[in-house]
Structure 1
Amino acid sequence: MTFVQVIDCRTSRFDEMNRLMDTWVEQTKGKRTATHNLIGKDRSDNSHFIEIVEFPSYEEAMRNSKLPETDRIFQEMVALCDEMPTFTDLDIVRDEQLYAANVRRLLDEIGSAGELPPLNDLVAENCHDHDPANEQDTIGLDAIRREMEMWRGAFDFAFTVEDQISEGDRVCTRWTWNATQKGDFLGIPSTGRKVSMTGCTVFRCREDGKIVESWWQYDRLGLMSQLGALDALET
């Protein structure tokens, strides 16, 4: 579960603190586990600052805090504060921005060259995939990976995200798929043709951002036509 630490402090020596943070970033390069960091200044009080640091999990945050560089920089930071800073630890229970970002990452990784990544950081083990082109739903990460491998074996392709709308635990993504057929697809031998397809997928995410359900709608008939599968029916 994503974890966020909020640090509330007051200082009249922010420029020095800012340089200190740059030093910490440099000294912990390749070791720190924070994924995102931002600092805000109170518009009504120029000495009041709040830092928000995001980690993949509480455990990763604790590993970060145990770095010797972190402890040393913390002591120097306290010395620059007008009073002892306060800390608030938060487990993230909803993050719509994370959901949309994970969906984009999934579409990028499905179309990536080389071996298909494990995807277990993006897709839940019990994920339920609804595709009207399939007689039965695809359930479970292993089965979903096999379905993806079928597409990857038949095409070199990439998704372009055209629109994304997030609401609650769902992300609706409108996409364009551009591909070149390189292998057998549903009995159609490789044509080498360049094809494209548009579609829209609704993804449901759980608290940690992993996808647990998806509903696909796309122009499969148009794809088959581009591959020449309908030519015999048209003559």
Structure 2
Amino acid sequence: MTFMQLIDCRTSRFDEMNRLMENWVEQTRGRRTATHSVIGKDRSDGAHFVEIVEFPSYEEAMRNSKLPETDRIFQEMVALCDEVPTFTDLDVVRDEQLYAATARRFLATIASEGELPPLDDLLVEDYHDHVPSDEPDAIGMDAFRRTVEMWRGGFDFEFTVEDQIAQGDRVCTRWTWNATHHGDFLGIPGSGRRVRMTGTYVQRCSSEGKIVEGWWEYDRLGLMGQLGALDDLEK
């Protein structure tokens, strides 16, 4: 679970503190586990500052705190403050930016070349996949992997993310899918044809950022037409 630490302090020596923080970042380069940091200044009180530091997990934050430079920098930071700073530890229970990034990484992963990579860091074990043209739904990571392998066996493909909207624990991604039909797909032998689809993928995420449930919408009928599967019906 993503973890954040909120540091609240008062100082009239912010420039010195800022240089101190820059030195710490440089000294711990390659070992510091924080992924993102933001410092805000109180508009109504110029001596009041709040820093929000993000870590991949609480465990990573604790590993960061055990760096020898961290304790030294902390002592020097306290000396620059007008009062002892306060710390608030936060487990992130909703992160719309993380959920959107997960959707992009998910699409890139299932379209990657070679053997399909593990999906454990993207999906929960009992992931539920909804596709209107497929019955029944794929439930569980193994069932979903079989569905993906069917597509990968028939096509070399890639997704282009055209648009994303994140709200609460859900993200809607509008995508374009470009592919080459190289192998059997639903009984249609590989043709070498270049095909294209557009569609959307709506995902529901857990607080840890993994995808719990997904809903796909795309034009499979149009795809079958591009593969020539509808030619006899049109005669």
TM-score by length of 1: 0.93
| Residue correspondence of structure 1 range 154-165 to structure 2 within 5 A | 154-165=154-165
CA distance, structure 1, for counterparts of residue 230 and residue 117 of structure 2: 34
Please provide the CA RMSD for this pair. Answer: 1.6
* Cross-structure match for 1:40: 40
* Cross-structure match for 1:67: 67
Q: Secondary structure at the match of 1:163?
A: strand
* 1:15 and 2:23 aligned: no
Aligned length: 235
CA distance, structure 2, for counterparts of residue 191 and residue 167 of structure 1: 41
Q: Secondary structure at the match of 1:177?
A: strand
Q: Which amino acid aligns with 1:140?
A: G
CA distance, structure 1, for counterparts of residue 114 and residue 144 of structure 2: 18
* Cross-structure match for 1:80: 80
Deviations 1:36-91 (A, max 9, x none): 11111112222211110111221221111111122222122222222211101111
| Residue correspondence of structure 1 range 111-126 to structure 2 within 5 A | 111-126=111-126
- How far did residue 181 of structure 1 move? 1.6
Structure 2: gaps spanning 5 or more residues:
none
| Residue correspondence of structure 1 range 48-67 to structure 2 within 5 A | 48-67=48-67
* Cross-structure match for 1:110: 110
Q: Which amino acid aligns with 2:19?
A: R
Q: Secondary structure at the match of 1:70?
A: helix
Deviations 1:69-126 (A, max 9, x none): 2222212222222221110111112222222221122112222233332121121111
- 47 and 176 in structure 1: CA distance in 2 versus 1, 3 angstrom threshold: same
Structure 1: gaps spanning 5 or more residues:
none
- 141 and 15 in structure 1: CA distance in 2 versus 1, 3 angstrom threshold: same
Question: Moved runs in structure 1, 4+ residues, more than 4 A?
Answer: none
Identity of aligned residues (%): 77
* Cross-structure match for 2:230: 230
- How far did residue 150 of structure 1 move? 2.1
TM-score by length of 2: 0.93
* Cross-structure match for 1:96: 96
- 117 and 26 in structure 1: CA distance in 2 versus 1, 3 angstrom threshold: farther
- How far did residue 162 of structure 1 move? 2.1
